[in-house]
Amino acid sequence: MDKDNLEGLIRRALDVRLKAYAPYSGYLVGAALMTSTGKIYTGVNIENAAYPDGICAERVAVFKAVSEGELHFDAVVVATANGGSPCGSCRQVLAEFGLDTRVYLVDQTGALALATTVAELLPGAFRPEHLGK
């Protein structure tokens, strides 16, 4: 991913973050996922009064993309107040679609907190291969 693409993806994550529905935690998260075909799908965390029914921004972005037939992801930018890291469930969902997806964590100013990969975030991931797929 070149510098312009990354800056654009960061901008999308920062912008969509403001649409997060997080009245309980107050912790807004925005995700922008770039497919290998160059399309961008965004997501926000969506909380619920029944707390466990909320969902993270990263999974919203992945599920939106997959529901449009996209299965290959180059990169995801996750924007939070403080550069927070994806939860275990989001790591697992990302791992389903590739360990090489690059993951960029940024704070609310867009400053890069960490550049990593799904493989680094979830060593030893349970994968489709384990089910013979």
Q: Which residues bind ligand THU (CB under 6 A)?
A: 22, 25, 27, 29, 45, 47, 54, 56-58, 86-87, 90
Amino acid at 13: A
- For the chain, list the strands marked E by DSSP: 30-35, 40-44, 73-79, 102-106, 112-117
- Closest separation between CB of residue 133 and ligand THU, Å? 25
Complex with ligand THU: residue 13 or 56, whichever CB lies closer:
56
3-class secondary-structure state, position 64: helix
Marked catalytic residue, from 58, 68, 70, 129: 58
Residue placing its CB nearer to ligand THU in the complex, 27 or 126: 27
Clarify whether 47 is annotated catalytic: no
Which candidate, 21, 62, 69, places its Cα nearest to that of 45? 21
Active site residues: 58
